[in-house]
């Protein structure tokens, strides 16, 4: 089960997410390697912050956190070309982007979420929230690609909780657009 949920907060006018791509690579040990990419256009005469929040609801911890802006690695710190991370088990990342008049930036975030797959007998269930319910941005186009370990077998068809997703089975997983 994957959840992709519509936002309920006022939409920001200083940035727009044109495309969001999420790769979820399920490991045999139940960990999940997550790769997220956001193509964002900025309309502001001052620096803009873009926040990504992953609630700690289906994993024990995260590790191997890496982020980029326009292909360049960014490090923890304040100001442009840096990210800040929150404290605690939830993953909170904030990118600070330079001002722009419709300038597009590509942000990436990769991390490993540990012990994500819930096991019950021979079944393993992946329940991952792709986007949080309350966010202040819309996404024009989203793609989610789930890759399962070799030998994994679907016991039922995969789906997304939110209406409007087209789900296509692949040889080792599925894609939702």
d(CA 84, CA 77): 6
pTM of the model: 0.87
- Pairing between β-strand 139-147 and β-strand 128-131 as defined by DSSP bridges: unpaired
Banded model confidence at residue 4, pLDDT cuts 50, 70, 90: very low
> What are the angstrom distances between the C-alpha of 136 and each of 8, 47, 52, 164?
8, 17, 11, 20
- Predicted local confidence at residue 6, as pLDDT: 45
Tokens found for residue 112: 């490993």
Q: Is 92 exposed, middle or buried (0-12, 13-18, 19+ CB in 10 A)?
A: middle
Predicted pLDDT of residue 38: 97
| Mean pLDDT score, 12-25 | 94
176 and 24 in contact (C-beta within 8 Å)? no
Mean pLDDT value across residues 67-80: 86
Q: Cβ–Cβ contacts within 10 Å for residue 32, how many?
A: 21
How do residues 133-161 score in pLDDT, each as one tens digit?
777 888 899 999 999 999 888 888 887 87
Instruction: Report the candidate in 50, 125, 53 with the shortest Cα–Cα distance to residue 89.
Output: 53
**Dist. CA 26–CA 40, nearest whole Å:** 27
The H helix count followed by the E strand count for the chain is 0, 15
Q: How far apart are CA 108 and CA 20, in angstroms?
A: 10
Task: Choose among 20, 46, 13: nearest CA to 132.
Answer: 20
Specify the pLDDT at position 27: 95
pLDDT: which is higher, 25 or 79: 25
What pLDDT is recorded for position 10?
A: 66
Confidence of residue 7 (pLDDT cuts 50, 70, 90): very low
Q: For 78-115, write each residue's pLDDT tens digit.
A: 777 778 777 777 888 889 999 999 999 999 999 999 99
Which DSSP helix (H) or strand (E) runs through 89? none
CA 56 to CA 123: how far, in whole Å? 22
User: What span, in angstroms and rounded, lies between the C-alpha atoms of 54 and 89?
Assistant: 9
């Amino acid at each position: 089960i994957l959840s992709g949920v519509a936002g309920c907060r006022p939409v920001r006018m200083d940035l727009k997410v044109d495309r969001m791509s999420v790769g979820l690579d399920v490991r045999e040990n139940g960990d999940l390697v997550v790769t997220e990419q956001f193509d964002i256009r900025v309309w502001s005469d001052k620096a803009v912050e873009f926040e990504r929040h992953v609630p700690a609801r289906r994993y024990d911890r995260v590790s191997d956190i890496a982020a980029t802006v326009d292909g360049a690695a960014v490090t923890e710190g304040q100001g442009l070309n840096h990210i800040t991370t929150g404290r605690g088990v939830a993953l909170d990342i904030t990118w600070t982007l330079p001002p722009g008049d419709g300038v597009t930036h590509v942000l990436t975030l990769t991390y490993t979420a540990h012990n994500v797959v819930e096991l019950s007998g021979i079944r393993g269930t992946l329940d991952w929230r792709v986007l949080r319910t309350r966010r202040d941005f819309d996404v024009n186009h989203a793609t989610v690609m789930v890759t399962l370990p070799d030998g994994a077998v679907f016991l039922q068809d995969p789906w997304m909780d939110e209406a409007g997703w087209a789900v296509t089975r692949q040889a080792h997983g599925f894609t939702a657009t």
